[in-house]
Structures are given as structure tokens and as C-alpha cells.
Chains A and B, each alone.
Chain A
Amino acid sequence: MNLHEYQARDILRRHGIPVPPGEVATTPAEARAIVERLGGKVVVKAQVHAGGRGKAGGVKLAKNAGEAEAHAKAILGMTIKGLTVHKVLIAPAAEIASESYVGIIVDRASQRPVLMVSSAGGIDIEEVAAKTPEKIHRLAVDPRYGLLPHQALGLGFALYPDIAQARAAADIMQKLYAVVYAVGASLAEINPLVTTPPPDGKVQALDAKISIDDNELERRPEIAALRDVSAEAPEEVAAREAGLTFIKLDGYVGCCVNGAGLAMATMDLVKYYGGEPANFLDIGGSSNPQKVVAALRIMTADPRVRVILFNIFGGITRGDDVANGIVQATRELSLKVPIVIRLTGTNEREAMEILTKAGLSALTDMDEAVKQAVALAKGKAA
């Protein structure tokens, strides 16, 4: 689960990391009121779960309250990478002497949280990493001891030669590491970490991004409550609420599969036989027929879908449960597209009986089912 910038800033602030002030507005009038209170120049920033906000026109500088109101009016409601902007963050336009990068991610290879810092922070950090990897300093932290003070200070000096600034940065890194374990983050990143011009030379977190490991949400209701459903694609919200994993694609063969690996292999096979998958959909290991109904409802809501392909290899998932779900869904939903079913494994025979009684049929071979689905989709297109 991704947090908005303003939510991430709040979390950092509560953990003692210096973050400049900022407030959230949902209307242009609110934006104006905030600027009148803060005074001075401000930045109006779209709060949306997509990178490249600035390049999409979602970040604007305003000299006064009137300009801020106008920018907020333009940004609120705009679409960035398919997501509508419902909130803007209003923050004072800081004077900046330098921009650095500090990020922590759990790394598969070292099996540890890895701290990455660079004095070449800002929006082009990925290019810096690709072209000049030596400018990124990395440290795999041993989770038994945490980020040790000398390690943090060493990385602080990699950012700033000045001892006061290096110490301030080291303190921020240790606090950011604490944030990761405190909120269950799979990623916590400050970009940019800035210094204000001399003589102050303060080190501050100007922008922050935090992603929460979905597996942490059950034990952290206060973090789960930060979810902004309006900021997510509606069909993905519906899928999550039904206990499904769903990702929309551009094709026309709707795929409903148990297990992520088999789901991907099914999509690949659709492509292999000349079709285009409409989605990734994993109904998971459970056998609840209601899940199948929800899956069909979500897939058929897309008018581009010309055929629905089920690929079920029963293990924990029971074939008869899936068959019951399909039968129930065809009664409830009056489907306009054909269904091709491949079903094998646990309780295969019972499943076949249920389907036959309802006037449906199923194949046991994956390749045959995919070929048939693609042919049906193409026949309908022609």
C-alpha cells in the first residue's frame, strides 16, 4: 500500500525528522486559505500514487494566495497516469542549497534492509544510479543490531563534508530506519533531502515516499486506516475487497486463475497463441464460490473483454467450489461473452458434474483451453 506524500511527511515528523510545514487542501478555496495563513511563496503539489508528478504538470510554484488558488483549481481533478488528483499539498517554497537522496528498501539479494544515499538527489536519481552507480552509497543493515551510529555518520559524511550537517543527516537516517520497522514499510525514501542556504544550513526532508508491506496491515490498523481508496483504480479496489489480486491490462481475453505463477503462465500462453490477455487475476488458494462471482463481475465490467478463460489447477482450491461459483455467477450476471473453462486437480470429477448439470463444459488441458478462448475472441472480433 502506498502512502501519499503528506501522510509520509506526517510519519517522518512524528519520528523526529525535520520536515518543513505543509497542509492539505481538497478545494481551491482551501488552498487559498492555507497560503493566506502560511504567507510567502508556496508549492502546490498533486497528491497521487504516481511518479513523475512534476513532469505531468502536477507540481506548481505560486507567488501568492491567488496564484495558489488558480494552480489548485487546475491540478485538482487532473489525471496523472490514469489516477485522478483529489488532494493537493501546499508547502512553503523552500530555498535550497543542495539536494540529496536517502532511501531504505528491503533487498532480496542480501535479505536485509539496504540504506542507499547519494549527494546527487532530486528527480533524476534513477538516471544517476544507472549512469554513475559510484555516486550511490549502499549499506545492508544487520537487522539484529539496526543502523549503528558510526555507519550512519559514515554515510552522513558521504553527503556533507560539514560535521554538523553530516551529524544531522546521520540522525535522520537512523530515524528513517526506525520508521521502516515502526510502520511496516517495504520502502521509505526522502528525495530530496535538502540543505537550506548558509548561514543556517539546515538539513530537512522536503519530499517523502513510504510504501507499506500489505502483509503488515492486519496488525497495524492505524496504518491501514491511511488507505485512500479514492486514489486507487476502482476495479482494483473491488478486487482487493473480494480477496482477489487483479491487474488490468490492454487485451481482450479475461483470465481467471488460481495462483500467481499459473496466472502469469496462462497470460503468456494467451499471447503465445496470438491473443492478448485482458488482465492478471489470481483467485488465490481459497475456494469460496463468492470469490468467483466477484471475479467474473470485475472482468465483465470491461467492455473490451470478449471471452473469459478459467484456468484452475486444484490443490488447496477445490474444483467443485470453483464450478459452483461459475454456475452461480452465470445465473446472477447474465454474461454476454463466452466462457472457456479448464479445470483439473482436486475434486475434478465433482466439478465436471456440476458444470454439466448447468449446461457448461470444461477441458482438462491448458493449451486446448487457451487455444479455444483465443479462437472465440478472434471470431467475435471478425
Chain B
Amino acid sequence: MSVFIDQSTRLVVQGITGRDGSFHAKQMISYDTKVVAGVTPGKGGQLFEGVVPVFNTVAAAVAETQANTAVIYVPAAVAASAIFEAADAGIGLIVCITEGIPVLDMTRVLPFVNERGARLVGPNCPGLISPGKSKVGIIPGNICKPGNIGVVSRSGTLTYEIIHQLSTHGFGQSTCVGIGGDPLIGTNFIHCLSAFAADPETAAIVMIGEIGGTDEQQAAEFVQRSVTKPVVGFIAGQTAPPGRRMGHAGAIISGSSGTAAEKIAALERAGIGVMKRPADVGPLLKERL
């Protein structure tokens, strides 16, 4: 098994004829992901790469192809609108790769998505991969290996580094989820941790956090309360300068809780094995498993 995506994933690619969308659609097809449809308004009726039907709207794509998952590569200016459209069309899993969506747009997108019972991954994320089964997003397939380690991360290329370390040390992955680095995101650490905890084929979990916000601390509390599988973690940003001050309001709302030191302490309190550097992930897992 795996979480969120597998062989039953039927994918519609929003922005399939664009520069990024077309490149990554081809990558996903060659990874044997079931790419059943594409959407580009005005290009309905065309075939992408001679095989994937393109539709004007997500609703039409769902009606014709029973797509159950959407991935979004459209430009930032229209990305919020693309998420609204996917949720409205009844898509259950929406993965938004696009970077640069205004945070105020997300304050309106998130309640809309939640009310329709859809799951959003991202925005500003590398997406997901269940090695050997399905890839939705941009995580390079060649660095992954099928296995029983669940990976959840706020980062992009740092996730690749950790996956690369895992594969090199002989630890394959059940599913890797990049949840995105924006302040307002759909799926968070806790959602992924609880999915991995319930997945019989995931034996251990790697979580990769960074400075800012308090998601890692809440995730740590969740691990302590409800996860019995081994969890190891990494927090990037120990040497990062203290964040640009966001007036007084930023300090009032979060105090000092966004620093790497605070987060590492919270992980350690919860019994999570904390790596000092990405190369520690293999040895630390070996110790814990």
C-alpha cells in the first residue's frame, strides 16, 4: 500500500499544454502514472502527445474520464482559480505545484476545498510519489525506490536530498509527500503522519521541517500521542538569520516558537530521532527499526 496515490490514481493535469505542465506530464506518463486527461481552456478536443485528451474545463474532464486526482501547473495569477475549479468538479485530491499564490487568495481557497471534502496538497510543493506506482508532481522518479519508509517534507530539493540518501542506504519509500513551504497549505504534517501511521506498508516515517510557524511542534505532539511507528526528523535553518520582523503582530502571534532550536527540542521531547545532517537519515533509521 501507500498513501494518497497509487495505481487507482486517475490524473487530470491542469495546464497540460504549458511549458512546465507539458514537460512534467510527459515525465509522469513515462513513470506509468495514469494520466487520463489534461485541461487548457480553449484547447479542448486536442490530444496531448497523441494520447491524452485535452478538455476546456475540469468538470468536462471528470465527466469523460472519471479523473479522481488533479495536478496544477498553471501560472500563479490563475492558480487559486484552478484549485477552486478542481474542487468544484468533485476532484478528491488536488495537488498544486504552482509557486507564488498570494496568501490572501489561499484564505478563501482553503475553506472552499474543505467544505467539499477534497484534500489539497500544496501549493508551492513538489507533489507526491508512491515509488513504482504513481507520481503526481515533479519529484524525480529516478532517485526513488519502492519500500516501506514514508516521507513528509515542507521542502523541495531538500526532500530530493533525503530521498536520495534513503535510496542509497537501501531504504525504499512507500510514499513521499512534499506539503509545500507556503504559510497557508492544505495537507499538513499531521495529516500525512496519521495516513502513514494507518498504512500497513509503511514501517517508519521521515519528517523534514524548517524554520517558521509551529506545524512541526504540533506534529511532534501528535507523534507522541498517536504514532507508534519510528519517526526520524530533520529541521533546516539552524543557521538562518532571525526572520524579517513582520511588525509587532508577527512576534505577538508566534513569540519565539518558529526557530530551529525550538522545533528540534519539540521533536526530541516527542521521542523523534533528530538528524544533525541529511546524511544521518540512513544510520538513524537503522538504529530505530
Residues of A within 8 A of B (CB): 51, 101, 103-109, 111-114, 116, 125-126, 129-130, 136, 142-144, 180-181, 184, 186-187, 189, 191, 209, 211, 213, 215-216, 218-219, 247, 249, 257-262, 264-265, 267-272, 277, 280, 285, 313-317, 344-346, 366-367
Main secondary structure of the interface of B (DSSP, over half): mixed
Q: For residue B212, give the distance in angstroms from its CB to the closest CB of chain A.
A: 8
Contact partner of B252 (CB less than 8 A), chosen from A112, A136, A180, is A136
Q: What 7 A-B pairs are tightest by C-beta distance, nearest first?
A: A261-B155, A259-B157, A261-B158, A264-B236, A105-B249, A103-B249, A129-B252
Main secondary structure of the interface of A (DSSP, over half): mixed
Complex CA–CA separation, A328 to B139 (angstroms): 29
B90-112 vs A, Cβ < 8 Å mask (1 yes, 0 no): 00000000011111101110110
Chain A hits for B208, CB < 8 A: 261
B215 within 8 A of A: yes
By the criterion of a CB under 8 Å from any partner CB, how many residues of chain B are at the interface? 59
B246 touches A105 (CB 8 A): yes
Q: For residue A132, give the distance in angstroms from its CB to the closest CB of chain B.
A: 12
A106 touches B248 (CB 8 A): no
Which residue of chain A has the shortest Cβ distance to B139 in the bound complex?
A315
B161 touches A316 (CB 8 A): no
Which residue of chain B has the shortest Cβ distance to A370 in the bound complex?
B277
Which residue of chain B has the shortest Cβ distance to A142 in the bound complex?
B111
Residues of B within 8 A of A (CB): 20, 76-77, 99-104, 106-108, 110-111, 126, 138-140, 143, 153-161, 164, 181, 183-184, 208, 210-211, 213-215, 234, 236-241, 245-253, 255, 276-279
Chain A hits for B251, CB < 8 A: 126, 129
Contact partner of B247 (CB less than 8 A), chosen from A103, A142, A314, is A103
B111 touches A143 (CB 8 A): yes
Chain B hits for A258, CB < 8 A: 157
Complex CA–CA separation, A211 to B241 (angstroms): 19
B239 touches A270 (CB 8 A): yes
B241 touches A265 (CB 8 A): no
* Given A101-B248, A260-B181, A345-B140, A268 contacting B107 (CB threshold 8 A): no
- 18 A-B contacts, Cβ less than 8 Å apart? A106-B103, A111-B107, A116-B252, A136-B252, A187-B249, A189-B248, A259-B157, A261-B159, A262-B236, A264-B236, A265-B158, A265-B236, A270-B239, A277-B239, A280-B241, A313-B157, A315-B156, A366-B278
